[in-house]
Structure 1
């Protein structure tokens, strides 16, 4: 008997939800995330409105902006950060709300009463750090913050109400109060940071008072607007708030008039949970929503690496009422439309790398996306038909070659992609073997599906191209996307005794004891994969730390996981010789012999330039130009394809 495969349904995610008279068209919410697309003075821009509008056009039921500051009386607001503390910002906010409404979504504005001890700009702006109590300043724990006076708290509450009035006048349907991650509201709510003896300290009800007063001020100044609250249920550091403390707080918030609550975990002390990288896996904070939903009667949103499939399951188990997606909706703003159309396979997956979204925002740059080069350019980067269709040969079916072929094919060019492997993906394919990197497999499958639907793109696998091959004779344009080669320093003797890290990912056998030579991203990830599979692993790195070029929050997760799996890390140590049974190293304590059953080499990559040089006049893209991250290759390929 043949079982017919069926496309999964997403009836729960696509069903409407009414919150205090406001009907959301579905259960999908864009998580509040700063875009860094505003002007230096904090005003929003048409570029930012286009970004939010695209998520609404893609079907997202509720689109919530990143944080908007409500006051600079007691805290600095750094240049470029979004603001709602003056009427001059209302016009830009109204443009965002209008763009969201034009796309068919409901519009939410997130307001922050402040960052407190976590604001890094006090010194630059000549201000004194403040907090709920005399807490250590996060960026210099030797300094204590000044506790806010009660009249200052009242002023912040007033400013929150004034900002809410501007949001109301701008046309927003929802106002989300920024209460998580250990920022100012969270500092008042948490016993670890609140040691006050006045009416804002002591009991859970008192510690929630500042948040409740902000909620009530919002309601007074924005009548009929739904008030949401983003909360960290578990701070995930020793001494931080846990569920036992949070339970009473969320009940106090509901009693104070809150309409909806969005739940996550983490804090500055556990920053990787705020933007969870791939190491944390699916649904890494869904338990937070489940716990809160058992304690309150208002709608609850679940966050944290949630895919459409897992989101539907969370709703089916009644563990949440809303599915809150941040980076997934950056990667693909059309998630809901594709679910409605029965095309979940066409959803471009977020690979959870944090490279150009969070990574950019951390450095004050407008957010982008490693897999979606149109992020931040929604009104500008449009794939339009070419007036002069060409025949294009693309050599290499890695990320750069695939993205170039997709964009060039959509523009109407006749594209032939050649690769000597038997499957597309290039270096991404072996890199995706760890369970924690399975989203990379989904990305490869996405490219396969998109290219298969473009009639004028043909993939030739198992087909190696050399200079002078006749397949290139009819090409108007040749694109070399030939990738890179493994690199081994000339100073390392006996490298033929090692197993290249890509060969390991492709299935080369390894013994129980493994030494990984090189502590960059590929070496560190291989070490973690091996350790998770029960191997005894040592990483040898010549620099002072491993994965030093990694984004801080990703590295936090990586180091914690390596420690949890007992991986030995030797830094400031150089591999001089690889033997059949181990390595010779030179470290701070001199020369040593390390024994192992297998030695894996992960020293890095060097560009594969040979074919491009032999062919002469060709376009080059990806690692064959310079070995970099996936996002760099994808974005470069997209831009190059628009120029042909």
Structure 2
């Protein structure tokens, strides 16, 4: 089981920090067999993001990680982002094989000459030597999607006519130099792009197999990955891509490694949204791979391996693959985490357990905040009763998961339900709680925690067109009654937020054969999906589905079969056909009980409607507050 390299933003300046150490140690304690640290730049010319580690500054951090993670093997991730880096921090030209502007930054890089190439090769060798001197069991070289080595391997970015027109040459030189530096007793891993999804000029599975045969003899293991600068979403896509998507590619590369001269002992690692231990074991049994990388799964559930070993796989917290907190390359510099495990990335300052003498606790609300609060209270030995007004628990999360493409979010609800049953928490649905009920409970010495969720906010447009709030539409999808909930005809999806709600609902409507217009004030639909890597795929899906995107627009009026839209810059109006509106606007707290008794702790959307992450985090915090009251 491998915990792979990924951006964490846990660093201090360009060094690994105590937060890194605690983060990796938690996964090692949970059973991860191989820990690959966050990729460190091997040369000062590379700084792809503000807190990107620099190998020259990492030796103390590597040593601390090794000491904290035994008996797991610790490998140092090493790389150079090349043209996919940033010149914003150190004011240096980006290095690249050729003068090909990066598709994301649009910056033209500097074409590397022999002195830069020599410095790069030496940088890899020196960094590898530093890592093993610090106690690491070896290194993993990044020739994957975000790497200069991939750029040399690819016809998309390598247009050279000198000796490096042999696109495998630099990789051969780097691997040979690193092997010479670390010797045969240490592990040398390689993360290799094996499909750029650009067959007209990029790396293909065939060319990757040839590279493996000709250039990779020095590597002890290979992790086949996919993607290029043209498809930055492809290496770790979100929940719209099925788990295990690299299985066929991995099997093909493994067959190549098994048959290649000098590669017979080379191990191949399956990477690609592997989140289910059963699927991981099947891949091993079917000889798809020799090791399995389950990085996001172990961010979500640090004890994944421990649960498998103990025969309790049902207790593994499901990984949603939403990327909402595990993908952190954005301008906010967020710290890596997970919506179902907010202690991830915060191991040095986790939410404390609600310890103390056992108490009776009433949790009002069965959404994510209430479910998590009840779970941690039950785990701490308190006697917990959870009541939910709806017929089933899950709240807004259950509704959100009803929309096509978001089904994985719903996996958390049965997990919580099973955990509450295991812990002896009483769950009662269809129960509405009044202020008098709260007073009776507190009068009897019962601690009370409010997690009552949210309600639709006021409409930002006028008119008498039939309208559903997003949650009402999702409930209709869950009940299979969309046609009954909306009249026939074109539907306008009003999306002032730009998250996955409006995009998903528009896709759902179009798939049902409805003419759909998605109205957004932003220059692109689903603008917030840039954070999860789904922005380009989402717009491609909308385009294929035939959804009309009204960009830079606000919905002003809907009625009489028409909707009037207004351009946010010019104020110019236009009219589209509209039989009904699905409104994906902001929601407000359902906080009536709390306003009547504001001394009671509360959590989740009844504080402020946000995401699952905040609901789970606040559920934990409010659990502590409740038993201390």
Please report the TM-score for the alignment, with normalisation by the length of structure 1: 0.87
Question: Does structure 2 conserve the Cα–Cα contact (< 8 Å) formed by 1:277 and 1:557?
Answer: no
For residues 582 and 225 of structure 1, the distance between their equivalents in structure 2, rounded to whole angstroms, comes to: 70
Residue 585 (structure 1) aligns with = 564
Residue 616 (structure 1) aligns with = 598
Aligned 1:53-92 pairs, distance under 5 A: 53-72=25-44, 74-76=45-47, 79-85=50-56, 89-92=58-61
Per-residue deviation at 1:94?
Answer: 1.0
> Structure 2 stretches of 5 or more lacking a match?
259-265
From the superposition, tell whether residues 582 and 236 of structure 1 become closer, same or farther in structure 2 (CA, over 3 Å): farther
Residue 358 (structure 1) aligns with = 327
Give the match's secondary structure for 2:613.
helix
Per-residue deviation at 1:161?
Answer: 1.0
Question: Does structure 2 conserve the Cα–Cα contact (< 8 Å) formed by 1:425 and 1:444?
Answer: yes
More displaced 10-residue stretch of structure 1: 244-253 or 234-243:
234-243
Residue 187 (structure 2) aligns with = 226
From the superposition, tell whether residues 385 and 619 of structure 1 become closer, same or farther in structure 2 (CA, over 3 Å): closer
Residue 301 (structure 1) aligns with = 269
Residue 503 (structure 1) aligns with = 475
For the pair 1:248 / 2:210, whether they are aligned, the reply is: yes
For the pair 1:556 / 2:536, whether they are aligned, the reply is: yes
Q: Cα deviation per residue 1:88-129 (whole Å; 9 max; x = unaligned)?
A: x3222111112221xx322111111x1111111x24312122
From the superposition, tell whether residues 382 and 399 of structure 1 become closer, same or farther in structure 2 (CA, over 3 Å): closer
Question: Does structure 1 conserve the Cα–Cα contact (< 8 Å) formed by 2:602 and 2:622?
Answer: no
For the pair 1:518 / 2:489, whether they are aligned, the reply is: no
Aligned 1:382-531 pairs, distance under 5 A: 383-384=352-353, 386-455=355-424, 457-469=425-437, 470-471=440-441, 473-489=443-459, 491-494=461-464, 496-498=466-468, 500-507=472-479, 508-510=481-483, 513-519=489-495, 520=498, 521-531=500-510
Per-residue deviation at 1:383?
Answer: 4.8
Residue 6 (structure 1) aligns with = none
Give the match's secondary structure for 1:468.
helix
Aligned 1:265-276 pairs, distance under 5 A: 265-276=226-237
From the superposition, tell whether residues 566 and 230 of structure 1 become closer, same or farther in structure 2 (CA, over 3 Å): same
Residue 7 (structure 1) aligns with = none
From the superposition, tell whether residues 326 and 424 of structure 1 become closer, same or farther in structure 2 (CA, over 3 Å): same
More displaced 10-residue stretch of structure 1: 225-234 or 308-317:
308-317
From the superposition, tell whether residues 498 and 441 of structure 1 become closer, same or farther in structure 2 (CA, over 3 Å): closer
For residues 550 and 354 of structure 2, the distance between their equivalents in structure 1, rounded to whole angstroms, comes to: 54
Give the match's secondary structure for 2:39.
strand
For residues 239 and 565 of structure 1, the distance between their equivalents in structure 2, rounded to whole angstroms, comes to: 28
For residues 510 and 372 of structure 2, the distance between their equivalents in structure 1, rounded to whole angstroms, comes to: 33
CA RMSD of aligned residues (A): 2.4
From the superposition, tell whether residues 140 and 517 of structure 1 become closer, same or farther in structure 2 (CA, over 3 Å): closer
Question: Does structure 2 conserve the Cα–Cα contact (< 8 Å) formed by 1:302 and 1:322?
Answer: yes
Per-residue deviation at 1:364?
Answer: 2.7
Q: Which runs of 4+ in 1 moved over 6 A?
A: none
Q: Cα deviation per residue 1:329-360 (whole Å; 9 max; x = unaligned)?
A: 10011111111222221111111222222136
> Structure 1 stretches of 5 or more lacking a match?
1-27
For the pair 1:210 / 2:175, whether they are aligned, the reply is: no
Give the match's secondary structure for 2:216.
helix
Residue 99 (structure 2) aligns with = 134
Question: Does structure 1 conserve the Cα–Cα contact (< 8 Å) formed by 2:30 and 2:303?
Answer: yes
Per-residue deviation at 1:482?
Answer: 0.9
Residue 520 (structure 2) aligns with = 541
Per-residue deviation at 1:276?
Answer: 0.8
Please report the TM-score for the alignment, with normalisation by the length of structure 2: 0.89
From the superposition, tell whether residues 362 and 343 of structure 1 become closer, same or farther in structure 2 (CA, over 3 Å): farther
For residues 372 and 348 of structure 1, the distance between their equivalents in structure 2, rounded to whole angstroms, comes to: 8
Residue 72 (structure 2) aligns with = 105
From the superposition, tell whether residues 341 and 516 of structure 1 become closer, same or farther in structure 2 (CA, over 3 Å): farther
Give the match's secondary structure for 2:529.
coil
Q: Cα deviation per residue 1:278-306 (whole Å; 9 max; x = unaligned)?
A: 11122223332122123222221121211
Residue 12 (structure 1) aligns with = none
